[in-house]
Structure 1
Amino acid sequence: MAVFGLIDGNSFYASCESAFAPSLRGRALVVLSNNDGCVIARSAEAKERGVAMGEPWHLVRERRDAADLDWRSSNYSLYGDMSRRMYDILVSRVPRVEPYSIDEMFLDLRDVAADLPAFCRALREEVRRVAKIPTCIGIGPSKTIAKLANKLAKDRLELGGVCDLRDPLEREAVYPDLPVSMVWGIGGRTAETLHRMGVRSIADLVAMDSRKVRDTMTVVGARVQAELRGVSCLPISMMAPPRKGITVSRAFSRPVSEWGELRETLAAYATRAAEKLRQAGLQATGMTVFLHTPPFGKGEWYSNRNSARIEATSDTLALIGEALRLLRPIWRPGLSYAKTGVMLLDLVDEASQPANLFPTREPARSKRIMGALDAINARFGRDTIRPLAAGIERPWKARAMRLSPRYTTRIDEILVAASYRPISPAGRTRP
């Protein structure tokens, strides 16, 4: 019989920040989006203050109760590495682990332990001790039930961070009190449709005729209902689904009107997109470049994009050249732009890509150069070496006024322990 667990980092971004800054623990803390614009993560204390996800920071900080509200700029290098550390702990204890998001991972708990709740409590403690991340774990016979149990483990403190819904009688007891919108895979519009049909609780959905569910919610809804009934339809996947595209885009810290600066920003984004391509072992065969002026500015609103097929590549220099070629026709002088970006499309596996009989660049030479570039940046930090087209000073770069150190990925930002010299009983410092 299948048994799934879902482990989820509590207030993950905020927990990553407080893991290396004990002064933040127990305080109301929010993490802001790129350019320090909106709230994208909140500690439990900030949630209690009523700070909402997506709320603009300039409105939050004007509140009367915001005087002692701590905030940090988003530090994705730190969060990604903390997620990796969490994963490493889990794979050492559980046979199969499937990352679902940066802070959520499904666990295959079949035959792991006779007392699963006790095992999961010990697993939570090990993640907390080693990775410094508080978590909750939900257990169930299907992924959907495990995810539901995880939500209950977060909401109900008396459960101690672990909720086990393997027993059908336990599910029958809780389903009537849980809204159907709480189910993984049921969004706002679907929930509204179900409400109009009189289906408000999870118990109502489970009791609904299966054919009616399929007619209303297609095969996806039928699968959700089966999962809620305890029938596993979604096995643990050991391979991530292939990426269909990569997008790199940022809002500028200030309006950009000069062609040179706009070209520099797009070159920087193409550089980052190329890095992501090579990390995934992929090549792009299509590209879209877009830009727009401030949507709420006083000047003229302008938005445009340009797309093209390109020769399959993950070469940074080649992708920069293609991006700038697509940008030039849609750039309009005299306008101040707020954002631009690059989308790499129609991705193909590099290993299975047939050789081009008439390549525009030498593949072997490109591979050696990109390999050396990635190796240096992996050792000494991203952007240690980058194309000159991507800029040096980068005055357009997004604001990050309170960016915490990248404690785990940059040697020059690692925590340093202060030297300690014990005091002798006579009051003199020992040599």
Structure 2
Amino acid sequence: MKTRLWKDVKMPVGVGIAPSKTLAKLANHAAKKIPKCQGVCVLDEPHKWEWLLRRTPVTGIWGIAKRLGRRLADLQIYSAWDLAIANPKIVRRASNVNLERTIEELNGRACLALEEVPPAKKQIYCTRSFGKKATELQPCLEAVSLYASRAAEKLRAQRHIALAMHVFMHTSPFEPNFHSVSNMARLPYPTDDTREIVALARAEIARLYRPGHAFMKAGIGLVEVADKRFYQHDLLHGGQSERSVKLMETLDTINRSQGKGAVILGAQGISKPWAMRQKYKSPEYTTRWDELPVVR
């Protein structure tokens, strides 16, 4: 697997194999950090993962951060091996059932299921800093229209609908008179229609905007989303129309086949002087003809 990826796309990867998800993550880390592994670490026997656990701090385990690490230190647990041999019931009192499962995982007993498909996001945010500070309302409207459109695309990709939105923008926190505004708003009905989402985002930004400030960042978040297959609509409103659904499907199909941004809403603007500068962005060697490496 490692050799094939390097041969075909020149992508360096580390491969970790173990009987549980937590041990596999540790094996993957070891594959990258221990030169003798040469990019592949297999923990298939207890003495192998014991050797690694003894040399791994407890905060190096997936799901254990510094705060929890300090609580475990009070129980004389400093390394991953200390946690693996600890009494699960006693350790659970310092945290929750997830830590008890982690102990089982460190001993080679799988308790956490592998996710072949990532779970749907419960919130979808799209935020960016401006390449040029916005001192007028129009650039703010254009920027938030773009961000709302992208959030709507992600929403449709996971087959969800949005019920509420969070809109915000602020000036530079490193300059005097820092100014930040935000608001929560509900959509007129649960929808994944870009037009409805953009319209609400623009209305909120127009309401929040105050002249005399140089805004450097804005964003929107779809903070209340639901699976469109199981959502029960209001008795007096059947949700978005079938025509709207087909229009959004057509929009996504064109943008997938012709490239991102092939079809956009006019509200996003054309010149976009506020767009991120991205001077140091890595070249897109595999997706753009004009960025292919040149041999001289």
Q: Normalising by structure 1, what TM-score?
A: 0.64
Corresponding residue to 1:336 among 187, 193, 214: 214
Matched, 1:237 2:237: no
Question: Are 2:15 and 2:31, in contact at CA under 8 Å, matched by a contact in 1?
Answer: yes
Distance in 2 (alpha carbons) for counterparts of 1:403 and 1:317: 30
Distance in 2 (alpha carbons) for counterparts of 1:407 and 1:379: 19
Cα displacement string for residues 259-287 of structure 1 (whole angstroms, at most 9, x for unaligned residues): 11111111111111111111221111111
Report the more deviating stretch, 361-370 or 225-234: 361-370
Q: What is the deviation of 1:179? A: 1.4
Q: What is the deviation of 1:151? A: 1.1
Q: Which residue of 2 aligns with 1:223?
A: 101
RMSD between aligned alpha carbons? 2.2
Question: Are 2:190 and 2:240, in contact at CA under 8 Å, matched by a contact in 1?
Answer: no
Superposition pairs for residues 204-219 of structure 1, below 5 Å?
204-219=82-97
Question: Are 2:161 and 2:228, in contact at CA under 8 Å, matched by a contact in 1?
Answer: yes
Superposition pairs for residues 45-84 of structure 1, below 5 Å?
none
Q: Which residue of 2 aligns with 1:363?
A: 241
Distance in 1 (alpha carbons) for counterparts of 2:294 and 2:244: 43
Q: Which residue of 2 aligns with 1:182?
A: 60
Aligned partner letter, 1:303: S
Q: Which residue of 2 aligns with 1:393?
A: 271
Distance verdict in 2 for CA 1:360–1:400, change over 3 Å: farther
Distance verdict in 2 for CA 1:392–1:220, change over 3 Å: same
Q: Could you tell me which runs of 5 or more consecutive residues in structure 1 were left unpaired when the two chains were aligned.
A: 1-122, 419-431
Aligned partner letter, 2:159: G
Q: Which residue of 2 aligns with 1:302?
A: 179
Q: What is the deviation of 1:380? A: 1.9
Q: What is the deviation of 1:368? A: 2.6
Distance verdict in 2 for CA 1:175–1:371, change over 3 Å: closer
Aligned partner letter, 1:323: A
Question: Are 2:17 and 2:28, in contact at CA under 8 Å, matched by a contact in 1?
Answer: yes
Distance in 2 (alpha carbons) for counterparts of 1:369 and 1:175: 54
Aligned partner letter, 1:139: I
Q: What is the deviation of 1:202? A: 1.4
Distance verdict in 2 for CA 1:360–1:319, change over 3 Å: farther
Distance in 1 (alpha carbons) for counterparts of 2:51 and 2:233: 60
Distance in 2 (alpha carbons) for counterparts of 1:136 and 1:238: 19
Distance in 1 (alpha carbons) for counterparts of 2:100 and 2:60: 16
Question: Are 1:405 and 1:413, in contact at CA under 8 Å, matched by a contact in 2?
Answer: no
Distance in 1 (alpha carbons) for counterparts of 2:268 and 2:236: 28
Corresponding residue to 1:248 among 126, 133, 142: 126
Distance in 2 (alpha carbons) for counterparts of 1:362 and 1:180: 50
Distance verdict in 2 for CA 1:221–1:329, change over 3 Å: same
Aligned partner letter, 2:186: R
Q: What is the deviation of 1:407? A: 3.9
Report the more deviating stretch, 313-322 or 203-212: 203-212
Q: Which residue of 1 aligns with 2:171?
A: 293
Q: Which residue of 2 aligns with 1:101?
A: none
Q: Normalising by structure 2, what TM-score?
A: 0.91
Q: Could you tell me which runs of 5 or more consecutive residues in structure 2 were left unpaired when the two chains were aligned.
A: none
Distance in 2 (alpha carbons) for counterparts of 1:200 and 1:294: 41
Aligned partner letter, 1:369: L
Distance verdict in 2 for CA 1:228–1:360, change over 3 Å: closer
Q: Which residue of 2 aligns with 1:138?
A: 16
Report the more deviating stretch, 196-205 or 398-407: 398-407
Percent of residue pairs identical: 34
Aligned partner letter, 1:258: E
Cα displacement string for residues 24-64 of structure 1 (whole angstroms, at most 9, x for unaligned residues): xxxxxxxxxxxxxxxxxxxxxxxxxxxxxxxxxxxxxxxxx
Corresponding residue to 2:7 among 129, 152, 155: 129
Question: Are 1:253 and 1:397, in contact at CA under 8 Å, matched by a contact in 2?
Answer: yes
Q: Which residue of 2 aligns with 1:376?
A: 254
Q: What is the deviation of 1:252? A: 0.9
Distance in 2 (alpha carbons) for counterparts of 1:364 and 1:240: 28
Question: Are 2:120 and 2:158, in contact at CA under 8 Å, matched by a contact in 1?
Answer: no
Distance in 1 (alpha carbons) for counterparts of 2:46 and 2:220: 49
Q: What is the deviation of 1:359? A: 5.3
Q: Which residue of 1 aligns with 2:201?
A: 323
Distance verdict in 2 for CA 1:158–1:387, change over 3 Å: same
Q: What is the deviation of 1:254? A: 2.2
Aligned partner letter, 1:286: A
Runs of 4+ in 1 over 6 A off after TM superposition: none
